[in-house]
């Protein structure tokens, strides 16, 4: 069966309008979800543990009596790690080691300088005290996301990392627990959805209140995170996965087809786009898609994603390809080019750039080292991958010498009078020598 993937060409007069439609994705605001989440959060705020237990029993089909049944012991996490088949354990450890090494480079350090009159100015960096990590557990479990969220937090020096993961029907995903153990997660509660976000944001008798909640989740989780923002910090509200491949017609079309599949298989709403300067190569990728799709276990998800949100864009040259890539500002951008290096610095908007034919996006998802939590839906125009800096805060330092108080005091006094704030002016003036 032919898979109908939208074809666009920059040579067409209506290309700008077509591109706009292709990129016009907004997570549908759902009043029912808003109402449900508001009610759950309110209940968790009022009734604490009892509410969390009730919702966990209802939504995750459990029958537990108290929160004590919903916390895993250190022993259970260690058993999960010890029980992994050797090959899986080695892969998990190799990925964790590479992700840690990369993120070590991101740690921000404080700085200060002293002016001629002895006044010291600087910036102090402190880690967040306590962070909540949401790990989705409904339809699919992602141990790699445990590493990508927990390791930067630990590298930043976060003192306590509390993980929540729903376990529908009481099933514990051993690879998720092993990843938590390896990444140094401190406590794990088997709770999910809006009730878990509420427990982390407000604190309950058992779940400590955190300072920031990170990690992806479904519409209930995303809505709850948006609602508790302000009481706690949040990382970002990630949309469906995206990949954009820029091709000059070189390389293997099977590789490109599978790279497009790799993000399409996440979600029917995922977006996979190929921009290419060579019409014949686009046809070869289409043929590869037809050939390879029947071999894929998640072919229905891939088919839906490619036909609803996928696209092939034929461009006249590489400059046009790069301009459109920057307009899309994709989560993942592959430069599938024989000579990719000169083009890297022309890409200004992308969550991550995968350079050259051997750099499949999937290596970044698991083990290259950089974080796989990346800005989606064009937000790479103004935001960055999750990193150590998301778990560090900056505090300004000001230590004014007696001499400095004279110079600064006169400036501050003048400006304070200008603003009509006499107490500000006086507090500076009191420190002026007569
Ligand atoms: N961007 C990324 O890096 C990334 C990584 C992993 C997962 N994801 C996304 O995370 C999401 C995971 O979703 P999921 O559902 O599998 O797991 P989830 O853990 O996010 O949600 C499961 C919870 O949703 C709540 N829920 C379900 N139905 C409900 C209802 N009718 N009323 C109230 N609450 C309800 C329940 O409490 C349940 O425990 C997917 O959208 C996936 O694409 C994104
Ligand atoms: N590609 C996803 C983020 O867009 C992350 C992931 C986890 N496992 C596989 N992939
Ligand atoms: Zn992925």
Number of separate domains in the chain: 3
What is the H or E stretch that residue 355 is in? strand 352-355
Is residue 375 in some structural domain? no
Q: Are residues 21 and 48 in the same domain?
A: no
Ligand 1 binding site (Cβ under 6 Å of any ligand atom): 36, 59-60, 136-140, 142, 145, 166, 192-193, 216-218, 220-221, 238, 266-267, 373
CATH of the domain at 95: 3.40.50.1980
Considering 234, 259, 293, which residue would you say is the last residue of a domain? 234
CB 221 within 8 A of CB 136: yes
Ligand 2 binding site (Cβ under 6 Å of any ligand atom): 142, 144-145, 241, 331, 365, 372
Active site residue 300: no
Q: Are residues 225 and 333 in the same domain?
A: no
Is residue 309 in some structural domain? yes
pLDDT per residue over 156-168, tens digit each?
999 999 999 999 9
Q: How far is the CA of 264 from the centre of ligand 3 (A)?
A: 9
Rounded CA-CA distance 41/51 in Å is 9
pLDDT per residue over 175-233, tens digit each?
999 999 999 999 999 999 999 999 999 999 999 999 999 998 888 999 999 999 999 99
Percentage of the chain lying above the pLDDT 90 cut: 94
Distance of CA 27 to the CA centre of its chain: 16
* Nearest atom, ligand 2, residue 216 CA: 3
Exposed/middle/buried for 352, CB within 10 Å: 0-12, 13-18, 19+?
buried
* Nearest atom, ligand 1, residue 56 CA: 37
Is residue 202 in some structural domain? yes
Which numbered ligand comes closest to the C-alpha of 136?
A: 1
Q: Are residues 157 and 252 in the same domain?
A: no
Q: How far is the CA of 365 from the centre of ligand 2 (A)?
A: 5
Q: Are residues 58 and 166 in the same domain?
A: yes
State the pLDDT confidence band at 88, using cuts at 50, 70 and 90.
Answer: very high
Considering 168, 200, 234, which residue would you say is the last residue of a domain? 234
The chain-wide mean pLDDT, for the chain, equals 96
Is residue 373 in some structural domain? no
- DSSP E strands, 159-306: 160-164, 187-189, 212-214, 233-234, 242-247, 271-276
pLDDT per residue over 278-302, tens digit each?
999 999 999 999 999 999 999 999 9
pLDDT in the model for residue 28 = 75
What is the H or E stretch that residue 353 is in? strand 352-355
Q: Are residues 230 and 253 in the same domain?
A: no
Q: How far is the CA of 371 from the centre of ligand 2 (A)?
A: 10
State the pLDDT confidence band at 1, using cuts at 50, 70 and 90.
Answer: low
Considering 234, 266, 284, which residue would you say is the last residue of a domain? 234
Show contacts of 18-23: CB within 8 Å, 24+ apart. 19/313, 19/324, 19/327, 22/273, 22/309, 22/311, 23/327, 23/328, 23/378
Q: How far is the CA of 345 from the centre of ligand 2 (A)?
A: 25
Q: Are residues 133 and 197 in the same domain?
A: yes
Q: Are residues 172 and 307 in the same domain?
A: no
Rounded CA-CA distance 83/162 in Å is 23
pLDDT per residue over 379-388, tens digit each?
999 999 999 9
Strand, coil or helix: what is 414?
Answer: helix
Backbone phi, then psi, for 160, in 5-degree steps?
A: -135, 125
pLDDT in the model for residue 238 = 79
Which one from 266, 332, 357, 372 is the annotated catalytic residue?
332
Rounded CA-CA distance 73/346 in Å is 49
pLDDT above 90 (res 419): yes
pLDDT in the model for residue 278 = 98
Which numbered ligand comes closest to the C-alpha of 240?
A: 1
Q: Are residues 37 and 12 in the same domain?
A: no
Tell the residue nearest (CA) to atom 1 of ligand 2: 365
Length of the chain equals 434
- CA gyration radius, the chain: 26
ipTM: 0.96
Q: How far is the CA of 268 from the centre of ligand 3 (A)?
A: 13
Active site residue 93: no
Residues of the domain holding 315:
6-27+239-368
pLDDT per residue over 51-74, tens digit each?
999 999 999 999 999 999 999 999
pLDDT in the model for residue 230 = 97
State the pLDDT confidence band at 27, using cuts at 50, 70 and 90.
Answer: confident
Which one from 103, 242, 265, 331 is the annotated catalytic residue?
331
The pTM of this model reads: 0.95
pLDDT per residue over 35-53, tens digit each?
999 999 999 999 999 999 9
């Amino acid at each position: 069966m032919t898979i109908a993937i939208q074809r666009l060409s920059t040579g067409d007069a209506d290309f700008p309008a077509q591109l706009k439609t292709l990129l016009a994705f907004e997570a549908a605001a759902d009043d029912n979800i808003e109402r449900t989440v508001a009610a759950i959060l309110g209940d968790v705020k009022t009734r604490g543990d009892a509410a969390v237990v009730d919702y966990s029993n209802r939504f995750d089909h459990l029958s537990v009596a108290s929160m004590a049944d919903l916390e895993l012991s250190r022993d259970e996490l260690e058993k999960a790690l010890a029980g992994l088949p050797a090959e899986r354990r080695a892969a998990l450890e190799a990925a964790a080691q590479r992700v840690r090494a990369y993120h070590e480079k991101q740690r921000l350090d404080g700085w200060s300088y002293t002016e001629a009159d002895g006044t010291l100015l600087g910036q102090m960096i402190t880690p967040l005290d306590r962070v909540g990590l949401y790990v989705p557990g409904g339809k699919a479990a992602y141990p790699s996301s445990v590493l990508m969220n927990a390791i930067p937090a630990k590298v930043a020096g976060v003192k306590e990392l509390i993980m929540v993961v729903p376990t529908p029907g009481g099933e514990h995903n051993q690879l998720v627990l092993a990843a938590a153990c390896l990444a140094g997660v401190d406590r794990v509660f088997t709770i999910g959805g809006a009730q878990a976000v509420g427990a982390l944001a407000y604190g309950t008798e058992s779940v400590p209140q955190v300072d920031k909640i990170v990690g992806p989740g479904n519409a209930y989780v995303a809505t709850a995170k948006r609602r508790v923002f302000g009481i706690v910090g949040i990382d970002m509200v990630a949309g469906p996965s995206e990949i954009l491949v820029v091709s000059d017609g070189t390389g293997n079309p099977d590789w490109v087809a599978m790279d497009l599949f790799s993000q399409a298989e996440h979600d029917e709403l995922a977006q996979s786009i190929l921009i290419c300067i060579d019409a014949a190569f686009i046809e070869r990728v289409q043929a590869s898609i037809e050939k390879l799709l029947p071999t894929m276990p998640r072919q229905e998800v891939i088919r839906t994603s490619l036909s609803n949100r996928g696209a092939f864009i034929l461009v006249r040259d590489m400059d046009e390809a790069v301009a459109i890539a920057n307009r899309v500002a994709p989560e993942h951008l592959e430069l599938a080019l024989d000579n990719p290096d000169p083009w890297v610095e022309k890409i200004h908007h992308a969550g991550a750039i995968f350079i050259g034919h051997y750099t499949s996006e999937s290596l970044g998802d698991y083990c290259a080292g950089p974080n796989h939590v990346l800005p989606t839906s064009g937000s790479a125009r103004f935001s960055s991958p999750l990193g150590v800096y998301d778990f560090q805060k900056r505090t300004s330092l000001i230590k004014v010498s007696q001499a400095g108080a004279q110079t600064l005091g006169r400036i501050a006094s003048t400006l304070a009078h200008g603003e009509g704030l006499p107490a500000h002016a006086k507090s500076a003036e009191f420190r002026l020598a007569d």
